[in-house]
């Protein structure tokens, strides 16, 4: 787990979760098929960006 400082003038919050998965492309396709917006290499769910990453990295 890692944390980053909030930008000046913004409140502290959980904004992204990076998740190790076997097939990031399949995760993004499934999220998009279920109506989640894709953004910056991840998808938005309830205001939080989930970013799938290859588990073997």
Sorted by sequence, the CB contacts under 8 Å of residue 24 that are 6+ apart come out as 52, 53, 54
Q: What is the pLDDT of residue 43?
A: 97
Task: Determine which helix (DSSP H) or strand (DSSP E) holds 29, and give its type and residue range.
Answer: helix 24-33
Q: What is the pLDDT of residue 13?
A: 86
Query: What average pLDDT values come out for the chain (57 residues) when binned by 10 residues?
Result: 81 90 97 95 93 88
Q: Identify which of 48, 13, 8, 41 has the alpha carbon closest to the alpha carbon of residue 27.
A: 41
Q: What is the pLDDT of residue 1?
A: 64
Q: Identify which of 38, 4, 6 has the alpha carbon closest to the alpha carbon of residue 50.
A: 38
Q: What is the pLDDT of residue 4?
A: 80
Q: What is the pLDDT of residue 7?
A: 85
Helix (H, G, I), strand (E, B) or coil at 13: coil
């Amino acid at each position: 787990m890692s944390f980053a400082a909030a930008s000046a003038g913004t409140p502290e919050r959980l904004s992204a979760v990076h998740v190790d998965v076997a097939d990031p492309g399949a995760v993004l396709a499934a999220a998009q098929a279920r109506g989640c917006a894709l953004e910056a290499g991840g998808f938005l769910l309830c205001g939080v960006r989930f970013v799938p990453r290859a588990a073997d990295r």
